[in-house]
Amino acid sequence: MLKSFLVSLAALLLAGTAHASVVIGTTRVIYPAGAAEVTVQVLNRDPTPALLQVWLDDGDAAADPQAIQVPFLVSPAMFRVEADKGQALRIMHTGEPLASDRESLFWLNMLQIPPRAEVPANQLQMAIRTRIKLMYRPQGLPGKVAEAPAGVRWRLVSEGGRQVLLADNPSPYVVNLGEVNLVSGGRALQAGAGHVLPFAQARFFPDGTASMGANASVRYIALDDYGAGRPGEAQVGML
């Protein structure tokens, strides 16, 4: 009975489809301090219209869009995009003070709301959400954003009985990493992806246990302002 139920449930989930027909025309948004607004393009590649809701958050992906308070406005907040058409989103800073010595990270959300329609009993209808970074960049920050990933300091530490890669970012820029690998003794252990905030630390978790030697290193793919991957490598210290 249990096996039959699990097979039926698996079939139901496999039958459900999630088709993201609307895309944002960039993988990240850079908002220069002092700009009146930044424009982001949205394109509907589907042969049917789409209803969209957009909002910004400050890092809590589960926060209620109606309750979020961020120093930006996005317009329009809800709109319909016709088939094979586009829409420009306007993002405006409200003027509320933000840190002037480092970048501030926010997130742009876009929810594609499925149309009200009859759905076969063996299919799931899902709302598709896209979430990309928005980085507010003050003027006159020292150094170059392209050089920030190479300046990250890496250490291997033990926390709770497992090995953790600790990344320390001494720069004023958000360092975005599309891939992180711990390399030691001829082995490359995947450690995920993520970002390191300015003047802060982030943790990455190698998939396995490394026998650390003098030549242990981290190989990473850093993502630039345009989302392009830039490979790099850095030595790992011990703590």
Domain ranges (residues) in the chain: 20-137, 145-238
DSSP 66: T
Taking alpha carbons only, the member of 151, 150, 178, 183 closest to residue 165 is 183
* Both structure tokens of 139: 């003027």
pTM: predicted TM-score of the whole model, two decimal places: 0.85
Q: At CA 23, angle to CA 229 and CA 220, rounded to 5? A: 15
Q: What CATH number was assigned to the domain covering residues 145-238?
A: 2.60.40.10
Provide the strand spans (E) within the chain: 22-24, 28-32, 38-44, 50-57, 72-75, 78-81, 86-93, 104-113, 128-137, 153-159, 162-169, 175-184, 187-190, 194-196, 200-204, 217-223, 229-238
> Tens of pLDDT along 133-150?
999 999 999 999 999 999
Beta bridge partners of 81: 50
Q: What CATH number was assigned to the domain covering residues 20-137?
A: 2.60.40.10
Q: What is the phi/psi pair of residue 224, to 5°?
A: -85, -170
User: Are 134 and 105 contacting, i.e. CB atoms less than 8 angstroms apart?
Assistant: yes
Taking alpha carbons only, the member of 8, 20, 16, 27 closest to residue 225 is 27
Q: Where are the alpha helices (DSSP H) in the chain?
A: 2-15
pLDDT grade, residue 161 (50/70/90)?
Answer: confident
Domains 20-137 and 145-238 share a fold: yes
* Both structure tokens of 229: 């991957």
> Tens of pLDDT along 4-53?
333 333 333 333 334 568 999 999 999 999 999 999 999 999 898 999 99
Type of residue numbered 110: M
- Start-to-end CA distance of the chain, whole Å, equals 52
Cβ neighbours of residue 9 closer than 8 Å, sequence gap 6 or more: none
Taking alpha carbons only, the member of 178, 229, 186 closest to residue 204 is 178
| pLDDT of amino acid 213 | 59
| pLDDT of amino acid 186 | 80
